[in-house]
Amino acid sequence: MTENTTLKIGIAGLGTVGASVVKIIQEEQEMLAARAGRAIKIAAVSARDKSRDRGIDLSGIAWADNAETMAENPDIDVVVELVGGSEGTAKNLVMQALQNGKDVVTANKALLAHHGAEFFALAKKNGRALAFEAAVAGGIPIIKALREGLAANHISAVYGILNGTCNYILTEMWRNGLDFETALQQAQEEGYAEVDPSFDIDGVDAAHKLTILSALAFTGRPDFAHVETEGLRNVSAVDIDYAAELGYRIKLLGIARLTPDGVVQTVAPCMVPEESNLAAVEGATNAVFIEGDRVGPTLYVGAGAGGNATASAVIADLVDIARGNVPPSGAFVETEKTVPFDSREGRFYLRLTVEDRIGVMADVTAVLRDHKVSMKSILQYGQGGAKSVPLIMITHKAKEAAVRDALAALAALDAVQEKPCVLRVEIPGGTEEI
């Protein structure tokens, strides 16, 4: 194998993922060369702190003090962007690399969610690859599944557990009876959550990933602005318990579903039946359902984050590029439009805290009737002389907008003591009952 057949890469960002990429390439040179058909060599790296000990050998590898210079380096064929963030260095590096005729591999879901349409157009114009398997669900090859394995299918829905931090928190709340704040603190102590966890627990990370999946499945271009996003902050231990009593588990789901009007995209805590595959996914694991018209529902489960899992996806893209086996960068081919979230139809879990007195139930049901929200089941709990009691309801299918309006009207009732709680009810891989 001669030097001119070697694929030379530059890696920007040497955090957990970047360091794992370097280590795997160095340890598995022969295996990767055999699988790729040519050697993969790290020609340059860049990070903020050159002196930091990352547990990897960087001797013999050029150091770029400014990551953006790698976009112009003639000794680099592929730029691997692992800096993170949707602006600044990451954005400039990817843009300049594509403009200068270099292929790009990225794990940056935020960058693609906000600027993907622009970058994919640029990659197509310049005949370069922009590969992003690592941007969604870590080690699960979900991008390849959507873009290649299911190419013969029209997709009707893509949904699942897209954030391991949130799934870990919800698992601990269910398994050990923890409240949200305690479970979050435990996730931080275990290294699953950042010191500032808002990106994860507010649903933004999952929304970025859903934007990419929805673009591949439906819309033809990332459309982050139309993802309705709700995080975990309002999920309480009491709702975890009531969900279990009703035969459900609560999961933060990213959902993109094709409706007669267009694609509805949402990230929100949802109740799923305890016998479903998604309910059984615990800890920091990710899981994604894709429903195709030929294959039906398919499920993909695995590590959604972590150095080795994400590095595995990065290197898979590098091997594809080395083989010349990357799909066209303009492979977002569907053209469905996104529609407002209020058009969604589904079932809902409602929890009210109400005064324990005669006539309250009649007032509640009158509000729901007036907003055309029908109840499938109602549970009312007496609490031995307490002034207020919980009222738990599961609806039949209803419009999102109608339920929101009904909740506002319910909150205005004198008998309702706290802000009503609402969770969507999702039936993975099946048809919801009317």
User: Which residues belong to the active site?
Assistant: 209
Distance between terminal CA atoms of the chain? 63
| Residue type present at position 376 | K
Nearest-Å Rg of the Cα atoms of the chain is: 24
| E strand or H helix that includes residue 105 | strand 103-106
Contact call for residues 78 and 105 (beta carbons, < 8 A): yes
Around Cβ 80, how many Cβ atoms within 10 Å? 31
User: How far apart (Å, rounded) are the C-alpha atoms in residues 245 and 401?
Assistant: 27
User: How far apart (Å, rounded) are the C-alpha atoms in residues 121 and 132?
Assistant: 15
Question: How is 335-375 classified by DSSP, letter by letter?
Answer: -PPB--GGG-EEEEEEEEEEE-STTHHHHHHHHHHHTT--E
Around Cβ 263, how many Cβ atoms within 10 Å? 23
| Residue type present at position 206 | A
Phi, psi of 191 (to 5 degrees): 85, 10
Q: Which of 192, 186, 184, 194 is nearest to 284 (CA)?
A: 192
Collapsed DSSP state (helix, strand, coil) of residue 38:
coil
* φ/ψ bin of 170: left (φ > 0), alpha (ψ from -120 to 50), beta (otherwise): alpha
Helix axis angle, 307-323 relative to 16-27, nearest 10°? 60
The per-residue b/e assignment along 44-66, b for 16 or more CB within 10 angstroms, e otherwise, is bbbbeeeeeebebebeebeebee
Strands 40-46 and 7-12 turn out to be parallel
262: which residues sit within 8 A by CB, 6+ positions away?
336, 337, 338, 339, 343
Residue with tokens 């009952």: 433
DSSP state at residue 55: S
Residue with tokens 């790729």: 36
